[in-house]
A = this chain, B = another copy of it.
Amino acid sequence: MFATADEAESAFYDAFERANLSAMMAVWAESDDVVCVHPQGPRLVGFEAVRESWMQIFAGGATLRIRATEQRRFDGQSVAVRAVIERVTPAGEDAPVSLICATNVYELTAAGWRMTVHHASPMAEAPRAQAEEPPPPGYTLH
């Protein structure tokens, strides 16, 4: 039972890293309306469809290290959102090889805080800041 959205968020990434299906599904609300979008995947709706997807992901056997960074928090009394960038490092790699943009929604249910939405998509690189050009000649005359 998670007392806060942050506890649920920690449990989510912990279960994800450990590829532990029962721990993962203990984070999700047992509802027909939960929504999960894996990177470049379809939109899955409902506890069972979401459970099936994690089962398939974990069956792959790959272990990942995932750091949720650059968090933005939107906190209500019964609904909370965490928008993060997931830095994903596969086993055997030293540094993150993929950056995933994720929006996670939690709701306070009778069984504590639970995840109701996980929307993840591959992150495009931010446009580079335009190279600063030298000031036009007029500005340097004096």
Q: Place the interface of chain A in its size category.
A: 35 or more
Cα A78 to Cα B108 in complex, Å, equals 13
Query: What number of copies of this chain does the assembly contain?
Result: 2
Q: Choose one: B42, B78, B119; the contact of A119 (CB below 8 Å).
A: B119
Interface residues of A (CB under 8 A from B): 33, 35, 37, 40-45, 70, 72-81, 83, 85, 101, 103, 105, 107, 116-117, 119, 121-127
A contact patch SS? strand
Q: Choose one: B75, B80, B119; the contact of A83 (CB below 8 Å).
A: B119
The answer to whether B41 touches A116, judged by C-beta atoms less than 8 angstroms apart, is no
Q: Which residues of B contact A105 (CB under 8 A)?
A: 74, 81, 83, 103, 105
